[in-house]
Amino acid sequence: MNGQELVSRMKRLGEVHSIKDVGPLSRAMFPGPHCPLMGAMMAVRGIKDSVMLVVGTDECTYYTKNTTIGNKAFGGLDGRCLSVVLDQHDVTFGCKEKLYDAFQEMMEEYNPRAVFVVTTCVVEVIGDDVDSMVEELKNQYGIYAMAVHTEHFKTENHLPGVRDTITACFDMMTPRPDTGAVNIIGQRMGDFTTTELYRMLVGAGVPMGMMLPSGTTVEEIEKAAGARVNVVVNPIGLPLAEKMKSAFGTPYVLFDKYIDPDRIYGLYQSLFTYLKLPVPAEVEDLYRKAKEIVETAAGQLEGLTYIYGNTPIDCYEFNAFMVGLGMVPLLIQTNEVPEAEDPNLRAILERCNPYITKTANIAPLQYVYDVLKPNLYLGHEFAMRLRQKGIEMVHSDGISPMLGLEVPVAGVTELLRAGAAARALREGRESA
Amino acid sequence: MSLCRYLPTPSDRMAVMWSLLTVGDAVVLEYGPAGTTHYSMGLFGAMGISPNQALFTTHMSEDDVVMGDVTRLEEAILELDRNYAPKVIFVIASAITSVIGTDLKGVCHYMQEKVKARLVAMENGGFKGDYTVGLREVQRMLVQELSGCGEGPSANTYNVLGASAGAYRIHSDLWELQDLMSRAFGFSCGAVPGVKASVDQLVAMGGARLNLVLRAEGLEAARWLKEQYGTPYVYGTPYGYGGTEKWLKAVGEALGASVAPEVTSQLQEKKKEAMTFRMYASMYRNKPHPPAAAIVGNYDTVVGLAGLCRELDITPDLLICAHTLKDIEEPAEGVVHFEREKDKIDALRRLRSHLVMADDVSLHLCDETNVGVCVSFPLVSHTQIANHLPLMGIRGTDFLLETVDRYYQNLD
C-alpha cells in the first residue's frame, strides 16, 4: 500500500463542508465503525427494568446477545436482551406474525415494564411498519413499548442508536412538579456517580434524577419531567433534552466532555444559575488548578505533531485546544464536520489545515504514519507498533468516566507524558 | 421459532465468513454495512480466528441501497488487489445485498479481468438456512473453484473435509487425527478447508490419497473430489476407543493398508482399562438414576458421542442436534432438532442426573444434579486456548472419561 498515494487522496479540513465530503482512507475498511444496533444495546443496558427485543437476522441478533452475555447490567446469559430472528419467509411476508408471537412469549416470561423493539437493517429495507406494530402491542399489553430503528446504511457509526433509544424514552414521561433535581442525559460510558460533576452536585445538596443511559429505571424516567434542569453530557442527549424543554419547559445545559477549563467553568456557572445555587467553592479551586496545569503545558507541548484518532473528548474542541497549545494536527479522523461558523473549527483553521478522513480504519493508516511521521497518535491503536515507527500513543480511555475540570487535568497530564516520551523516542532514534 | 432468549442458530453467512477467514493468502471482502463486520469480531475471536488483514468491509450508504450502486465494491476490489496482492478475494454478500438482489457474481465476473487475484463471490446473505448450509456451500465451493491436481498425486497425504472453525476444540481434534494417521498409517495432513489451508494447499487437494470427512457438511465436497480425481473418502468421526478403532479400520480399508500394530495394541489396552466404566454402569443400572446422557451439538458430534456413551453402557436418551436435520441423509434414530427454542430449553431443564455433553448455553440450563462437559459451540462461560485437548480419538476419550468418572461420583 502506498502511503503517499493515500495521503494525496485525502482532503484538507478547510476543503470539506459536511461529512459527505470526507472520504474514507480506503474503500476496503477494517474493522469499520460500530453500528447503531450496538448503540441501542449500550443505551438499553443502562435502563434496569427494560427489555431489548432485537428484530433482525440471525447474525445481528446473535452478535447483540453475544455482546450482552458478559454484561452484568444486562443480566448475563439469562438477561434482558432477547430477539426475534427473521428468516426468508419473514423477509418475504413481513415480520408481524413472528413479532407478535415473540412479544406474547416475552410478556408471559419476563413481564417487563418497558420494551425497546429495536429493528435492524433488513427490517428497514423490506419496509415493515414496526412503529404501528409496536403502538398496537403497547396498547394491547398496557406497557411502555418503543420502536427504535438502527439501520446502519443511513448512519456513520453507533451513536445514532444511543441517541434514538434515549430519545424514545420521552414516551414514558409525563408532567411532574419541580423536584429541584437534575437529570443526566447522554452519558455513554462509565458511571456518573464517579465523576467530579456528580460530586459537585451532590455536595451542593442537589438531588439526582434520571441518569440516562448510564444507569436508571423506568420509574426514574417516568418522573424525569420533575427535574429543574437537564445536564446533557453528550450531544446524543440533545434531541431528548429539546423534547423535554418543549413539552415540560425543562431547561438544559450541554456539559460535554470538554477540555478547555474556561469553557467548563462557564458551564458550571450556567448549571448552578439554573439550580438557583452559588457555584461551589471547590469548583473555583479546581478551575484554578486546571488553568495552572494548562499554562505549564503550553511551553512543553509546543510544536508536537499528531494524528487524531478517536478520544472520549469532543473532537473539535480537543483539537482546537491542542492547537491553542501550539500542537500541530497532521490528520484528524472523524465522523462529523461542524458548521463553518463553529468556533472550534475556526480556531483550528486559523493556525493549520490538517488532512481529514473517517475513523475506524486502522489497516491503511499504518502506511500514512510513514509519510506524515507524527510525534503522537491520539486514539485506539497498538502502542508497541506505533513506537516502532517513532510515534507515542496518547491514552485517553481513562478520561471516559470523567466530567468536569478533572478532564483537562487528566488530559493535559497524559499529553505531557506522551509528549516527553515522544521526544525521548525521537532523540533515541536520532542518536542511534 | 418466535422469541429467542439465548443465542440464535448461526446463519449460513456467518459460517461462510468464519470458514473463508481461515484461508491463507486470501482476503474476505464484505459488501454490506460495516457494523456487522465490527460486531463479528467477538465471535471470530472465540473461534481463534484473527480477521486482521484478512477481513474487509465496503460499508454501504443509503444511496447504494436505493440506487443499487456497486461503485464502492468495484473500488474496494481494485484496492485490495493492488495493496494486498492476495491470491483470492472472496466477495461476500450481506443481508441487505441479498434482499435488494445485488448481483455479486456478475460484479466479480466483469471485475475479474481488471485484477490479478481470483475473484470468488459467495451470495449467502443469511437467508438460505443455518450455518450447516453455509459450511456445505463453502466446502463445495473451495474444492470446486480452487482444487486441482497440484503437482501430481502426493504420496501419503490426506485432506480433512467438513471440519469447521466453528467446532469446539477443532484444532485439538485435528492434532489428534494427525497423530493417529501418522502413527497408524504414516500419512500426513494436506488441506483442511474451513480451518486451515492456504490457497496452494487447496489447489493441491486433488492429489491427496484420501479425504477424511468429519461432518456431513463435507460430503458434497468429498463426492466431487472423488468424481473429479478418484479420491476415496471415509465419512465418520473417531469418538471413543471402540469408535476410534472402527474409524481407523475404515480408513485402512480405504487405503488398502493395515493399522500399525502399535496403535492397535494401544487401543486394546485402553478398551480394557475402560471396562471399569462399564462395571460402574451395571452397578448403577438398578439404582434410582440409571446412567444416562444428553448430548447437544453438531449432528456428527452428537452421533459420535452417543456411540462413546453406548461403549460405556450409558444410555444417551436426549440427543439434540443444534441445526436443522433436513440436509442429513438418513438421520440416526433418536436425534432431534427443536425448531422452537422454548422446547429445547424445556427438554434441558427437565434433565436430572444426566451426563451432559453440550455447549455452554445448554449446560447452563441443566440443574446441579447433572454433570456436564463442554463439547460444542457456543462458548459463553469459558474460552478455548489449548490446541492439545481433543474430544476425538484416544486422547479425547481419555479426557471425556474424566468427566464420566466425575458423573459417577455425583450419581445417587
Q: For chain A, give the longest Cα–Cα distance.
A: 75
- Print the domain residue range for A18: 3-30+291-431
- What torsion, rounded to 10 degrees, do the Cα atoms A96, A99, A101, A104 define? -130
pLDDT tier at A429 (50, 70, 90 boundaries)?
A: low
pLDDT tier at B75 (50, 70, 90 boundaries)?
A: very high
Domain chopping of chain B, boundaries: 12-129, 157-260, 271-410
Q: Please, which residues have CB within 8 angstroms of residue B145's CB and are 6 or more apart in sequence? A: B118, B120
A410 and A427 in a common domain: yes
A59 and A9 in a common domain: no
More confident residue, A430 or B312: B312
Q: What is the pLDDT of residue A335?
A: 86
Chain B hits for A66, CB-CB cut-off 8 Å, are 7, 42-43, 378, 380
Could you tell me if A66 lies within 8 Å of chain B, comparing CB atoms?
Answer: yes
A426 and A297 in a common domain: yes
Q: Which residue of B has its CA nearest to A89?
A: B127
Q: Which residue of B has its CA nearest to A151?
A: B33
Q: What is the pLDDT of residue B151?
A: 56
A264 and A325 in a common domain: no
pLDDT tier at A432 (50, 70, 90 boundaries)?
A: low
pLDDT, mean of residues A25-51: 91
Residue A165 lies in a domain: no
Pairing of strands A355-357, A11-12: antiparallel
Digit-coded pLDDT (tens) for A346-357? 999 999 999 999
Going by C-alpha positions, the residue among A114, A184, A125, A186 that lies closest to residue A150 is A125
- A35 and B84: CB-CB below 8 Å? no
Contact between B204 and B151 (Cβ < 8 Å):
yes
- B378 and A66: CB-CB below 8 Å? yes
Digit-coded pLDDT (tens) for A276-299? 999 999 999 999 999 999 999 988
Chain B hits for A2, CB-CB cut-off 8 Å, are 83
Out of A29, A63, A87, name the one closest to residue B57 (CB).
Answer: A29
Question: Which cell is A86 given?
Answer: 427473521
The region of weakest confidence among A220-224, B43-47, B398-402 is: B43-47
A301 and A226 in a common domain: no
Query: What CATH number should be reported for the domain holding residue A82?
Result: 3.40.50.1980
C-alpha to C-alpha distance for A361 and B57, rounded to whole angstroms: 10
Q: What is the pLDDT of residue B1?
A: 64
The radius of gyration of chain B from alpha carbons, rounded to an integer in Å, stands at 22
Residue A161 lies in a domain: no
The Cα of A306 is separated from the nearest Cα of chain B by a number of Å equal to 25
A194 and A295 in a common domain: no
Could you tell me if A82 lies within 8 Å of chain B, comparing CB atoms?
Answer: yes
Q: Which residue of A has its CA nearest to B77?
A: A28
Contact between A317 and A344 (Cβ < 8 Å):
yes
Chain A hits for B55, CB-CB cut-off 8 Å, are 30-31
CATH architecture, range B271-410: 3-Layer(aba) Sandwich (3.40)
Burial of A273 (0-12, 13-18, 19+ CB in 10 A): middle
A147 and A242 in a common domain: no
Q: What is the pLDDT of residue A219?
A: 97
Coil, helix or strand at residue B390: coil
A265 and A350 in a common domain: no
Q: What is the pLDDT of residue B269?
A: 97
C-alpha to C-alpha distance for A118 and A105, rounded to whole angstroms: 17
- Residue B123 C-beta-side C-alpha neighbours within 13 Å: 12
Contact between A196 and A405 (Cβ < 8 Å):
yes
Q: What is the pLDDT of residue B133?
A: 97
Give percent of chain A above pLDDT 70: 99
Q: What is the pLDDT of residue A431?
A: 61
- B38 and A83: CB-CB below 8 Å? no
Digit-coded pLDDT (tens) for B86-103? 999 999 999 999 999 999
Digit-coded pLDDT (tens) for B29-39? 999 988 888 88
Restricting to A residues 112-151, those with a Cβ less than 8 Å away from any Cβ of B are 121-122, 125-126, 151
Residue A209 lies in a domain: yes
- Of A281, A299, A324, the residue that ends a domain is A281
Question: Which cell is A267 given?
Answer: 458551564
Residue A162 lies in a domain: no
| C-alpha dist (Å) from residue A82 to A14, A172, B96 | 46, 21, 22
Contact between B100 and B39 (Cβ < 8 Å):
no
Contact between B95 and A59 (Cβ < 8 Å):
yes
Could you tell me if A360 lies within 8 Å of chain B, comparing CB atoms?
Answer: yes
Q: What is the pLDDT of residue B199?
A: 95
Chain A hits for B2, CB-CB cut-off 8 Å, are 84, 98, 101-102, 105
Coil, helix or strand at residue B314: coil
Q: Which residue of A has its CA nearest to B131?
A: A58
Question: Which cell is B200 given?
Answer: 496452494
B12-129, CATH topology level? Rossmann fold (3.40.50)
Mean pLDDT of chain B: 94
A253 and A207 in a common domain: yes
Tell me the one-letter amino acid at B47: M
- B36 and A59: CB-CB below 8 Å? yes
Residue A326 lies in a domain: yes
pLDDT tier at B125 (50, 70, 90 boundaries)?
A: confident
C-alpha to C-alpha distance for A11 and B81, rounded to whole angstroms: 24
pLDDT tier at A190 (50, 70, 90 boundaries)?
A: confident
CATH architecture, range B157-260: 3-Layer(aba) Sandwich (3.40)
List, in sequence order, the alpha helices (H) in B274-340: 275-284, 299-311
Question: Which cell is A193 given?
Answer: 456517580
Looking up cell 460500530 gives A34
pLDDT tier at B42 (50, 70, 90 boundaries)?
A: confident
Out of B6, B8, B378, name the one closest to residue A58 (CB).
Answer: B8
- B2 and A98: CB-CB below 8 Å? yes
Out of B4, B34, B79, name the one closest to residue A85 (CB).
Answer: B4
Q: What is the pLDDT of residue A62?
A: 95
Mean pLDDT of chain A: 94
A235 and A313 in a common domain: no
Q: Which residue of B has its CA nearest to A97?
A: B2
pLDDT of residue B372 exceeding 80:
yes
Looking up cell 463453502 gives B138
Chain A hits for B72, CB-CB cut-off 8 Å, are 27
Contact between A77 and B6 (Cβ < 8 Å):
yes
- Of A124, A155, A186, the residue that ends a domain is A155
Split into its structural domains, chain A has a count of 3
pLDDT, mean of residues A49-66: 95
Question: How far from chain centre, in Å, is Cα A400?
Answer: 10
The region of weakest confidence among A1-15, A413-427, B143-157 is: B143-157
The Cα of A37 is separated from the nearest Cα of chain B by a number of Å equal to 8
Pairing of strands B23-24, B197-198: parallel
pLDDT, mean of residues A158-181: 96
Phi, psi (deg, nearest 5) at residue B28 = -110, 130
Residue A41 lies in a domain: yes
C-alpha to C-alpha distance for A402 and A422, rounded to whole angstroms: 25
Best A57, A104, A122 member to test B by mutation, with max B CBs in 10 Å, is: A57
More confident residue, A6 or A243: A243
pLDDT of residue A390 exceeding 70:
yes
Give the number of other CB atoms < 10 A from CB of residue B67: 11
Q: Which residue of B has its CA nearest to A127?
A: B99
pLDDT of residue B152 exceeding 60:
no
Domains B157-260 and B271-410 share a fold: yes
Task: For chain B, give the number of residues.
Answer: 412
Looking up cell 455425583 gives B410
Coil, helix or strand at residue B158: strand
Q: What is the pLDDT of residue B38?
A: 83
Q: What is the pLDDT of residue B51?
A: 85
Best A55, A62, A335 member to test B by mutation, with max B CBs in 10 Å, is: A62
Going by C-alpha positions, the residue among B66, B128, B143 that lies closest to residue B92 is B128
The Cα of A98 is separated from the nearest Cα of chain B by a number of Å equal to 5
Q: Which residue of A has its CA nearest to B381?
A: A70
A299 and A254 in a common domain: no
C-alpha to C-alpha distance for A101 and A81, rounded to whole angstroms: 17
- Of A281, A311, A344, the residue that ends a domain is A281
Digit-coded pLDDT (tens) for B325-350? 999 999 999 999 999 999 999 999 99
Going by C-alpha positions, the residue among A125, A59, A355, A363 that lies closest to residue B76 is A363
Phi, psi (deg, nearest 5) at residue A144 = -80, 125
Residues B91-108 as b/e (b if ≥16 CB within 10 A, e otherwise) read bbbbbbbbbbebebeebb
The Cα of B127 is separated from the nearest Cα of chain A by a number of Å equal to 5
C-alpha to C-alpha distance for A3 and B71, rounded to whole angstroms: 23
The Cα of B390 is separated from the nearest Cα of chain A by a number of Å equal to 25
pLDDT, mean of residues B302-323: 98
C-alpha to C-alpha distance for A391 and A374, rounded to whole angstroms: 6
Interface size between A and B, measured as CB pairs under 8 A:
183
Going by C-alpha positions, the residue among B72, B34, B37, B31 that lies closest to residue B51 is B37
Chain B hits for A133, CB-CB cut-off 8 Å, are none
Which residues make beta-bridge pairs with B233?
B211
Chain B hits for A154, CB-CB cut-off 8 Å, are 62
- B10 and A62: CB-CB below 8 Å? yes
Digit-coded pLDDT (tens) for B158-209? 999 999 999 999 999 999 999 999 999 999 999 999 999 999 999 999 999 9
